Amino acid sequence: TILLGIETSCDETAVAIVKNGREILANVVASQIDSHKRFGGVVPEIASRHHVEQITYVLEEALQQSNTVWEAIDGIAVTEGPGLVGALLVGVNAAKALAFAKQKPLIGVHHIAGHIYANRLEKEFEFPLLALIVSGGHTELVLMKSHGAYELIGETRDDAAGEAYDKVARMLQLPYPGGPQIDRLAELGEEAIDFPRAWLEQNSYDFSFSGLKSSVINTIHNAKQRGKELRKEDIAASFQASVIDVLTTKTVRAAKEFDVKQVIIAGGVAANRGLRSALEAEFAKTSIPLLIPPLNLCTDNAAMIAAAGTIAFEQGRRSGLELNARPSLLLK
C-alpha cells in the first residue's frame, strides 16, 4: 500500500508518501514558525493563508522526492481534526480535490493517531501498547490493544504540556515556540526552585499543568519584588524537572499496571531532551521496551498521517467527499 498524506492542522504544511505504513518515500514539511514568531504564537488567519500558498508546492516536491507516479498511489490520507478549522480546511479540500481528480480513496485521519503512528515508521508495534502523547494541544496516556483502537486512560485537566512550555517561555521572554528554548536553557541551569508536582488523586493518570504555570509566574514576580533576579536557566531547569517528574512517573506506573509490551512517546514535547533521557533511564530499570521517535517525526509532519491512514485503509475505512474539517475531533 502506498498512501499520500496531507497535514495542515496547525502551522506546518506537510505532504508525505509512505509505503505500507512503515517506509517513508518522501516527507516534506514547510514550517511557518518565522511568520508567527513576532506574534508570540500561531495566528490562525495567517496559518490558513500560508497553507493555501504552500500546499501545491509541498505536494509537487513530495511527488518529486519520492519518484512516485499517481498510478502507484493507493489513496490519500488527510488530517481531518483536531486543529485550527481554517488550517484544517486547506488540507481537507486539497485531499478531496486530489481524490476526486485522481479517482483515489480518501481517508480522514485523527491528528493524534498520526502522532502515535509516527513511531511505527521506526519500529513495528506490539500490543498492548502504551502511548504518552505530549504536544502543543494534548497530554494523554492512551492504551492500544490493537491497531487503530485507542483507550484514553489519562489526560490533562487544563493546559497541555507543550502549552505550559510555551507559556512559561513567554514569561521568560523567550521566542516562540518556547519548548525548544526551555529545553536548551534547562541543560545549563540548576534545579534551584522546588516547583510543585501535580500528582492529583492517588490512582489518577490525569495531568494538570496550570498550577505549575501559576507557581512559575508567582516565583518570578516575588523575586522581582524583592529586587532579586532569578536565573532563567534555573527557572527553566526547575520547571522542566516538575513536568518530567510527573510525566515519567505516571507513564511508568501505567505501563506496569496495564502490563504493556511497548511504550511509545509522541508529539512535539517528545522532542524534549530532558524528557527523552528521563524516560530512557526509568524504562531501563524495567523490562518494558521504550520507543522514542527521531526529532523530525515528533513534531507535525505528514508521514505520520499517511502511516496512521494506512492502518485505516487496510481496515477498509474510507471517507466520502463530504469529509469536513473537525476542529475538536475526539480520538476513538
- Residues contributing to the annotated binding site for Fe cation: 111, 115, 300
What is the pattern of x (binds Fe ion, CB under 5 A) and - over residues 129-158? Answer: ------x-----------------------
180 touches, from Fe ion, ligand ATP, Mg ion, none (C-beta below 5 to 8 Å by class): ligand ATP
Cβ closest to Fe ion, residue 18 vs residue 133: 133
Cell representation of residue 272 = 524534549
For the CB of residue 276, give the shortest distance to Fe ion in the complex, in Å: 17
138 touches, from Mg ion, ligand ATP, Fe ion, none (C-beta below 5 to 8 Å by class): ligand ATP
The answer to the question of residue 10 lying near Mg ion (CB under 5 A) is: yes
Distance CA 149, CA 166 (A): 31
Stretch 282-321 residues interacting with Mg ion (CB under 5 A):
300
Stretch 259-288 residues interacting with ligand ATP (CB under 6 A):
267-269, 271-272
CB distance 12 to 302 below 8 Å: no
CB distance 255 to 154 below 8 Å: no
Distance CA 243, CA 168 (A): 12
Encoded amino acid at 125, one letter: F
What is the pattern of x (binds ligand ATP, CB under 6 A) and - over residues 66-105? Answer: -----------------x----------------------
Cβ closest to ligand ATP, residue 63 vs residue 329: 329
What is the pattern of x (binds ligand ATP, CB under 6 A) and - over residues 103-122? Answer: --------x---x-------
What is the strand order of the sheet 262-266 is part of?
A: 151-155, 139-144, 129-134, 262-266, 290-291
CB distance 215 to 196 below 8 Å: yes
The answer to the question of residue 118 lying near Mg ion (CB under 5 A) is: no
Encoded amino acid at 116, one letter: I
Cell representation of residue 146 = 490493537
Cβ closest to Mg ion, residue 4 vs residue 298: 298
179 touches, from Mg ion, Fe ion, ligand ATP, none (C-beta below 5 to 8 Å by class): ligand ATP
The answer to the question of residue 136 lying near ligand ATP (CB under 6 A) is: yes
DSSP state of 132: E
Encoded amino acid at 140, one letter: E
CB distance 216 to 168 below 8 Å: yes
Nearest of 266, 267, 217 to residue 239 by alpha carbon:
217
Nearest of 324, 303, 328, 332 to residue 80 by alpha carbon:
324
Cβ closest to Fe ion, residue 32 vs residue 219: 32
Cβ closest to Mg ion, residue 163 vs residue 300: 300
The one among 66, 135, 215, 219 contacting ligand ATP by CB under 6 A: 135
